[in-house]
Amino acid sequence: MEGVLYQATIFLLAAVIAVPIAARLGMGSVLGYLLAGVIIGPVLGLIQQPEDLLHYAEFGVVMMLFLIGLELDPRALWAMRDKLIGLGGMQIGITGGTIMTLAFLFGYDLKIAIAIGMIFALSSTAIVLQTLSEKNLMKTGGGRSTFSVLLSQDIAVIPMLALLPLLAMAPTMQISENGAIQTTAHKQGHATMSLVEGLPGWGVTLVTLGAVLMVILAGLFLVRPVFRFIHGARLREMYTAFALLIVVGIALLMMLVGLSPALGTFMAGVLLANTEFRHELESDIEPFKGLLLGLFFITVGAQIDFGKFFSNPAPILGATLGIVLIKGMILFILGRAFGLRGRDQMLFTLGLAQAGEFGFVLISFSLKQNVLPAGLAEYLMLIVALSMLITPLLFILYDVLSKRLGDPDDDTQPSDEIDEQGPVIIVGIGRFGQIVNRLVRSVGVKTVVLDHDMRAIELMRQFGVKGFFGDPTRPELLHAAGLAQASVLVITINDPKATLNLVRHARRERPDLHIVVRAHDRHHTFQLYQAGANDIVRELFDSSLRAGRYVLENIGLNEYEAAKTEQAFFQHDRYTIRELAGLWSENIPVEKNDAYIKRSKELAKELELSLIAALDGDDDKAD
């Protein structure tokens, strides 16, 4: 018991000290965990035999893949298919194939070369995404291309984990340090739980397919009823217990039939991605995933043998720089082929040139599956760790090169590729546009949302509402959103001049389009009417009208009378705006427009009569 508490104390103390320091230095949490492991392991020797904890720490990877599955809406994946399959798929295939070929030429067995190629085809999702976010580069062309490749790599880990057991040597085979296969005596191991042991081939296939089918059916038909049953207990911890049960149970089932636990939990996550319990599952699993992943990286860091590095550093440094150079060259060519130029191309090239945390996962899994020899696995871990440690230097190099490239500083970032259209286009998703969007979507009508604020778009996506980033005042963006087929255009941006230009363009392109628009004030309203808007809503008019009704209710009118007065005032104001819009002129100040002033006074008297009629119940006169 004391030993367990001692190790837990050392691990947690190292994490809470090293990780915040690494984060403040811009190195990211993953590097912080690795450095913490290095300090308590090889440097200070506080942890003995850290590999004993790796079995438990690997469960953090299983949870991470479950959460990745929860975040991957199949429809969103289909919308990104060009970059995921094209750019991401080519990066993984070409990089993995190139490194595999080089490993084979250096004398390694083909199966080992394939494993090495897969390990170094991946980059660091955690480090790169955090750095892109900190440097505000996510919404650049290079940042979005980088994200697409990282997402492709995260998905590719699943088939890689499924493929590695097929590369494993037979139980009577071992691998020498140089990758050669050696025959050894069979060792009797401990009995393990298995549902397929001793079955014929067709029996193993049936049991395996049955387990996969069981996971699918449970995700589709069992999770919802159980969640509702747990909800009746009104105990918060039961949600957490059930979320853990899903992950642990599926991982155990996959192990019993000889499949990768990560594959099963990822599949379950995708099945649950569109359920109403998705966010609940994410919030319950996230803390455990973070701690166990941290434990995994600390354990990896504690296992790194720096004695080997300092005894012969040249080959390891040479291999690390070689991997970065090879990946960088491939990324540069692919970025060029997919239209990236200048700083975007440099960001894409340098941002993905390192190896990643999933490399540790594949190395550990390969070692356990008898794909890699222990000595080679240690060298590979050193190379992966060193490449991740130099990632901050690669981003510093990007900053230097981007300044020397002399690209014009332009705050306008490339727009999203709009791959959806709908009957309603909403331009602007601030406080005003959000309410419009929620109301329209609540009755089942599809909307296409455009906004130039990336943070607003990303926030919407967290709540399951898809929007597109870009300058909505650009006509080509409106056309891409389906202006030619849309029934209603809603403009809610807080820019009177841009709003007016949009209305004029939309009316010129679509005389039959119904345009609903937000107006800044009365003068802006007149401009919009003349430009061709159908329904115009002044920013503060409706809220001011409601406030006035509350005043009437508290000075003697009952609720019915106040509501009738409010409605009459609203109807008359709409009529007034249309009347005065015909007399208003942008070139004549209002105080010098005699016709406007005269008609305004007449309408004010008509308003008094209409309000009296409303209170008397004379609805016809009020209209």
| Residue 591 DSSP one-character state | G
Domain match, 339 and 470 both: no
d(CA 254, CA 361) in angstroms, rounded, equals: 18
Task: Kindly tell me the burial class for residue 305, based on how many C-beta atoms sit within 10 Å of its own C-beta (0-12, 13-18, 19 or more).
Answer: middle
**pLDDT for res 102:** 94
CA distance readout (Å), 246 to 105, 215, 284, 509: 44, 10, 11, 53
Structure tokens at 527: 């401009």
d(CA 54, CA 161) in angstroms, rounded, equals: 17
The pLDDT tens digits of the residues spanning 357-401 come to 788 878 888 887 888 988 898 889 889 888 887 887 888 888 887
One-letter amino acid identity for 437? N
Residues 319-352 as b or e (16 or more Cβ within 10 Å = b): bbeebbebbbebbbebbeebebeebbbbbbbbbb
Residue 72: pLDDT band by 50, 70, 90 thresholds? low
The pLDDT tens digits of the residues spanning 324-350 come to 999 999 999 999 898 888 888 899 999
The pLDDT tens digits of the residues spanning 240-285 come to 788 888 888 888 888 787 766 766 777 778 777 766 666 677 777 7
514 versus 180: the higher-pLDDT residue is 514
Q: 3-class SS at 181?
A: strand
Domain match, 380 and 475 both: no
d(CA 109, CA 372) in angstroms, rounded, equals: 10
- Please provide residue 537's backbone torsions phi and psi, each rounded to the nearest 5 degrees: -120, 115
| 186 is a domain residue | no
How far is C-alpha 220 from the chain's CA centre? 24
Closest CA to 486 of 469, 517, 509, 470: 509
**pLDDT for res 57:** 65
Residue 98: pLDDT band by 50, 70, 90 thresholds? very high
Domain match, 455 and 531 both: yes
Domain match, 62 and 116 both: yes
Q: 3-class SS at 440?
A: helix
Helix (H) or strand (E) holding 269: helix 261-271
Residue 169: pLDDT band by 50, 70, 90 thresholds? low
Closest CA to 505 of 416, 427, 591: 427
Domain match, 258 and 341 both: yes
**pLDDT for res 432:** 84
Domain match, 234 and 359 both: yes
Closest CA to 492 of 532, 452, 444: 452
| 409 is a domain residue | no
d(CA 401, CA 414) in angstroms, rounded, equals: 20
Domain match, 72 and 107 both: yes
Domain match, 359 and 452 both: no
What stretches of 361-476 adopt beta strand conformation (E)? 424-427, 447-451, 467-469
Domain match, 386 and 501 both: no
Contact by Cβ (8 Å): 621, 613: yes
CA atoms within 13 A on the CB side of 26: 12
The pLDDT tens digits of the residues spanning 156-167 come to 887 887 788 888
| 196 is a domain residue | no
| 417 is a domain residue | no
| 231 is a domain residue | yes
Domain match, 355 and 452 both: no
| 518 is a domain residue | yes
| Residue 592 DSSP one-character state | G
Split into its structural domains, the chain has a count of 2
Residue 421: pLDDT band by 50, 70, 90 thresholds? low
Per-residue pLDDT at 413 exceeds 60: no
Q: Which of 375, 404, 433 is the last residue of a domain?
A: 404
Domain match, 122 and 251 both: yes
Residues in the chain: 623
CA-based R_g, the chain, Å = 32
Per-residue pLDDT at 185 exceeds 60: no
HEC sequence for 1-21: CHHHHHHHHHHHHHHHHHHHH
| 238 is a domain residue | yes
Beta bridge partners of 181: 175
Strands 173-175 and 181-183: antiparallel
Q: Which of 404, 435, 469 is the last residue of a domain?
A: 404
The whole domain housing 348 covers 2-170+201-404
Domain match, 135 and 247 both: yes
Structure tokens at 17: 């000290």
CATH of the domain at 54: 1.20.1530.20
CATH of the domain at 569: 3.40.50.720
Q: Which of 359, 376, 404 is the last residue of a domain?
A: 404
Mean pLDDT (the chain) is 78
Cβ neighbors of 71 (< 8 A, separation 6 or more) are 269, 273, 282
d(CA 420, CA 482) in angstroms, rounded, equals: 8
Contact by Cβ (8 Å): 212, 204: no
| 438 is a domain residue | yes
